[in-house]
Amino acid sequence: MPHVDIKCYAGRTYAQKKILAAKITRDIAEIFETSEDSVSIAIHDIPPENWKTQVWDKEIEPNRGKLCKEPGYDYDD
Protein backbone atom coordinates (compact mmCIF):
# COMPACT_ATOMS: atom_id res chain seq x y z
CA MET A 1 0.00 0.00 0.00
CA PRO A 2 2.36 2.76 -1.13
CA HIS A 3 1.46 6.29 -0.11
CA VAL A 4 3.35 9.23 -1.60
CA ASP A 5 3.32 12.63 0.07
CA ILE A 6 4.55 15.38 -2.26
CA LYS A 7 5.31 18.91 -1.16
CA CYS A 8 5.98 21.60 -3.74
CA TYR A 9 5.85 25.34 -4.18
CA ALA A 10 2.34 26.62 -4.73
CA GLY A 11 1.33 27.50 -8.26
CA ARG A 12 0.71 24.18 -10.02
CA THR A 13 -2.76 23.65 -11.40
CA TYR A 14 -5.05 20.83 -10.31
CA ALA A 15 -4.71 19.39 -13.83
CA GLN A 16 -0.91 19.30 -13.51
CA LYS A 17 -1.20 17.57 -10.14
CA LYS A 18 -3.59 14.95 -11.57
CA ILE A 19 -1.18 14.21 -14.45
CA LEU A 20 1.75 13.88 -12.04
CA ALA A 21 -0.25 11.62 -9.73
CA ALA A 22 -1.28 9.39 -12.64
CA LYS A 23 2.30 9.00 -13.87
CA ILE A 24 3.68 8.31 -10.40
CA THR A 25 0.88 5.80 -9.77
CA ARG A 26 1.69 3.88 -12.96
CA ASP A 27 5.41 3.77 -12.14
CA ILE A 28 4.90 2.67 -8.54
CA ALA A 29 2.46 -0.06 -9.55
CA GLU A 30 4.87 -1.37 -12.19
CA ILE A 31 8.06 -1.21 -10.11
CA PHE A 32 6.53 -2.47 -6.85
CA GLU A 33 4.43 -5.05 -8.73
CA THR A 34 1.19 -3.94 -7.14
CA SER A 35 -2.19 -2.67 -8.24
CA GLU A 36 -2.68 0.99 -9.09
CA ASP A 37 -5.65 0.84 -6.70
CA SER A 38 -3.23 0.33 -3.81
CA VAL A 39 -1.42 3.63 -4.45
CA SER A 40 -2.43 6.92 -2.83
CA ILE A 41 -0.84 10.31 -3.44
CA ALA A 42 -1.17 13.64 -1.63
CA ILE A 43 0.20 16.89 -3.04
CA HIS A 44 0.65 19.85 -0.69
CA ASP A 45 1.31 23.41 -1.80
CA ILE A 46 3.94 25.12 0.36
CA PRO A 47 4.58 28.86 0.00
CA PRO A 48 8.25 29.48 -0.91
CA GLU A 49 8.79 31.57 2.23
CA ASN A 50 7.75 28.57 4.37
CA TRP A 51 9.78 25.92 2.54
CA LYS A 52 12.77 25.96 4.88
CA THR A 53 10.79 25.76 8.10
CA GLN A 54 8.00 23.43 6.94
CA VAL A 55 9.91 21.08 4.64
CA TRP A 56 13.70 21.44 4.82
CA ASP A 57 14.08 21.66 8.60
CA LYS A 58 11.38 19.06 9.43
CA GLU A 59 11.63 16.50 6.63
CA ILE A 60 14.71 16.82 4.45
CA GLU A 61 17.58 17.64 6.80
CA PRO A 62 16.69 15.16 9.59
CA ASN A 63 16.24 12.36 7.05
CA ARG A 64 19.31 12.89 4.87
CA GLY A 65 20.46 9.30 5.39
CA LYS A 66 17.10 7.89 4.31
CA LEU A 67 16.48 9.95 1.16
CA CYS A 68 16.53 7.93 -2.06
CA LYS A 69 17.05 11.19 -3.97
CA GLU A 70 18.71 14.13 -2.26
CA PRO A 71 18.04 17.72 -3.34
CA GLY A 72 20.67 19.59 -5.32
CA TYR A 73 20.42 22.63 -3.08
CA ASP A 74 21.24 23.42 0.53
CA TYR A 75 20.50 26.05 3.15
CA ASP A 76 23.26 27.92 4.93
CA ASP A 77 22.36 28.89 8.48
Q: What is the pTM assigned to this prediction?
A: 0.87
Provide the mean pLDDT of the chain: 96
The residue count for the chain: 77
> Residue 33 belongs to a domain with what CATH number?
3.30.429.10
Residue 75 in domain: no
pLDDT at 77 exceeding the cut of 70? no
Instruction: Residue 13: give the domain boundaries.
Output: 3-66
Kindly report, residue by residue over 14-41, the tens digit of the pLDDT. Answer: 999 999 999 999 999 999 999 999 999 9
Residue 61 in domain: yes
Residues with catalytic roles: 2
| Domains identified in the chain, total number | 1
Query: How far, CA to CA in Å, does 16 sit from each of 11, 19, 43, 44, 49?
Result: 10, 5, 11, 13, 22
Residue 8 in domain: yes
